[in-house]
Amino acid sequence: MFPATPFFEEALDHLMAGRQPDVGRNLDPRYKSLLRQSRCDAQGIFAFRDLPAGDWYLVTDNFWTVGGTRKRDGLLRRVAVGEGQDLQVLLTETDRVGR
């Protein structure tokens, strides 16, 4: 999860266009401190605690296998968070990127 700032939205634009943004290797440590990570639970819910107020993007890769062929797509949702809020999100078909 990352904050909805112009910097991260530009990286997201690259991803949506099928290009790999060059932010990981050269990312300023101050920006790295803004990122939040979580693994979904058995029901597919992502949980985050004590978030700063603002708009955030939750983004993840989704992998599955069909007939021995590995498939992949992305899921993305923008969420609004209040100061110190705990957040639980279940990404669904409507959050699929490039539908």
Query: What's the start-to-end Cα distance of the chain, in Å?
Result: 21
Model confidence at 10: pLDDT above 60: yes
**Chain position carrying tokens 């004590």:** 50
Among 10, 58, 68, CA closest to 35: 58
So what's the pLDDT on residue 45? Answer: 95
Model confidence at 84: pLDDT above 60: yes
So what's the pLDDT on residue 49? Answer: 93
Backbone angles phi, psi at 13, to 5 degrees: -60, -40
So what's the pLDDT on residue 86? Answer: 94
- Mean pLDDT, residues 2-29: 77
Copy the structure tokens of residue 59. 């983004």
- Mean pLDDT, residues 13-36: 74
So what's the pLDDT on residue 78? Answer: 95
Q: Answer whether 91's CB lies under 8 Å from 53's CB.
A: no
Q: Which carries the bigger pLDDT value, residue 60 or residue 29?
A: 60
Q: Answer whether 10's CB lies under 8 Å from 4's CB.
A: no
